[in-house]
Structure 1
């Protein structure tokens, strides 16, 4: 099989879902203005996206090798293409809920399949880590592009306008192109499952992974990381609009700094980790994240609306706070690569399923907590709370490293976080 073509196809699929998944913050801002719903009501969109991701992953992850990773990805792309077409044709808050429900179901199929497909292509731990870092970097490039794509369709002079829904015509076209690319790509999926095992046995094998201490610590780390990332990423457009007094379109575009930091951090993380062990690098990243929160949020106090606001006179917090993405970026791919590279190929689908489940739960929890605190208090206090999970992740990474070393993977884990070329 043509590995380069398969990788390109996987990257294209991840790019599509990056735009759709991370549009939830932008869409929350727009449905509040367009459909006149409350912040707490709008925050359920994160649940419509994340709960299906977790539920579907739990039910089908162990069975996807039987169904076929390529077939699963094609199914997911077909579902989201249809959902995107419904948004401008049947405008309404309920349609928006159905869109994110479709995105959640589809991403559960896609993420497990994409991560498992990387296991088919990578020859060793270094190459696996390189592909994961690049994949997650491409994902963040998609997130970055998505903010500007949505921003181009938002009319700041008329917040209640439904013109922003036209973006879904473009998104449906992108989804269809990714579908056609994968449709014309062939994959060899041999070796992805143990022959002769029943579906029930495969499902319980997935559950038994949770009994391993290393896996438990890894799951907690991933859960808390996504809680922080989604809590900030989802509510940053609203923070920019209500706390920093930026226009709606500019609020969304300013959030692209956060996505750009994540993209640059993930694409560049391999070069850093090639020289240093993953553990001190990630600790440094977490401390830098906390420092940025403590520096940026005091600068967001007492901001007044400016009718002549532009990129040159915007509050400093609009540029400083999103830089947290740069230091947040290496954490997720590093711990994922260390974990997956320590398992045999036939367990990658099940392990990725567990990752997707707890990442989805973390995303929903982060968004709901941040949204509720945002509404009850204000955006500054809501973002100050991110310091709590950041501190807990520092602790879990300590135990994660000890568990890796206890399993005799010390040298391999350091290499696994470095990309191969």
Structure 2
């Protein structure tokens, strides 16, 4: 499921290039193909995340997958810009439903909070794989003269297989809570979690992380081109052939390193202090961003994609530890709250960076300065988390009562 979602969401940059030409839309209009699906995920996570706790994991996942499949197959008749954006938004709403169900399910199959974090890194690793193969599929389709919409049809096929699998597989039981607790599961409870320090803390961390991460796959290509004023991307300023190739495929290199790091994170989070790892890795991100800005394009060419290694374990761990601070009958609801902030960061971060860049002559360097600020605030928060460990007692309580 995570891989299928990433195949479509992280291909939007490649798709936007085609849509702008096909429908003669502006950059602002084309950006809706990214921001509206993110808005759909955010609102779905916040207002529908409770379904995983109310209806159960299996029905919620199947409902979300069915809605996603309908949106994907509808791309076969999508030959209008408004319809395309509407279907992308609908797919975002569907992702918010099935992803909260999947995140809650991870808690059901975990026997400890540490295993929960390792499993979460494994699930997000498949998201990293989808982020790599999705753009490659779009590029191949376009090269073969096939419409990019077939990416969604392919995703719809994967979705159909997943629905069949979800129907056949026996899901583990989870602590649903007593009848009174089940009755209280609602949108109101989701909104109430916004006041909870654990849910809010990890949600803000997810927002800051995703806002910084999005600078890489949204604005790094613009920063690395030799002449930002040219309509055609040029890389002649990189003297070596390898450097030119890396500049062209810098985003792919980042996604490969991020995916590899998440698979390693399965082992890492089982053997090391998660708070220490996150503090050190977030500090490394700040150093890479700062050095890449200070040293210019030739330095950023290597350091910006390298952040994929350091970013790899941060978001899955935020998700896991944030969810693990709550009893299992609330896992879907709290997952939806964190997902809301995640999508909000993905939508807000690149937009703010674009505004700042435009205000400074369109140079993407200024957008990365904003990203560095996001990364620095995140690092400061994780230093505090490591030094004072505010979740230690809460995680220990949940470990004793919810995991066996």
TM-score, structure 2 normalization: 0.83
Q: Please list, as runs of the form range in 1=range in 2, the aligned pairs for 1:94-243 lying within 5 A after superposition.
A: 94-155=82-143, 163-197=147-181, 199-200=183-184, 202-236=186-220, 243=228
Q: Which moved more, 1:404-413 or 1:183-192?
A: 404-413
For residues 306-340 of structure 1, give each alpha carbon's deviation from its aligned partner in whole angstroms, at most 9, with x where no partner exists.
xxxxxxxxx77555422221111111122222222
| CA displacement at 1:387 relative to structure 2 | 0.5
Q: Does 1:245 align with 2:234?
A: yes
Match of 2:40 among 52, 63, 88: 52
Distance 1:232 1:167 in 2: 23
Are the aligned partners of 1:40 and 1:375 in contact in 2 as well (CA < 8 Å)? no
| CA displacement at 1:406 relative to structure 2 | 6.6
The aligned counterpart of 1:25 is: 13
SS class of match (2:148):
helix
Distance 1:406 1:356 in 2: 20
Distance 2:81 2:220 in 1: 21
Structure 2's unaligned 5+ residue stretches are: 236-244, 400-404
Are the aligned partners of 1:210 and 1:216 in contact in 2 as well (CA < 8 Å)? yes
The aligned counterpart of 2:61 is: 73
Flag the 1:54–1:88 CA change in 2: closer, same or farther, 3 A.
Answer: same
Cα RMSD, aligned residues only: 3.2
Q: Does 1:266 align with 2:262?
A: yes
Are the aligned partners of 1:151 and 1:253 in contact in 2 as well (CA < 8 Å)? no
Match of 1:324 among 304, 307, 318: 307
The aligned counterpart of 2:287 is: 291
SS class of match (1:123):
coil
| CA displacement at 1:366 relative to structure 2 | 1.2
Aligned residue pairs: how many? 385
Distance 2:21 2:2 in 1: 29
For residues 160-182 of structure 1, give each alpha carbon's deviation from its aligned partner in whole angstroms, at most 9, with x where no partner exists.
x8733333332222222222222
Q: Which moved more, 1:216-225 or 1:189-198?
A: 189-198
| CA displacement at 1:389 relative to structure 2 | 0.4
The aligned counterpart of 1:384 is: 369
Q: Does 1:351 align with 2:339?
A: no
| CA displacement at 1:253 relative to structure 2 | 5.0
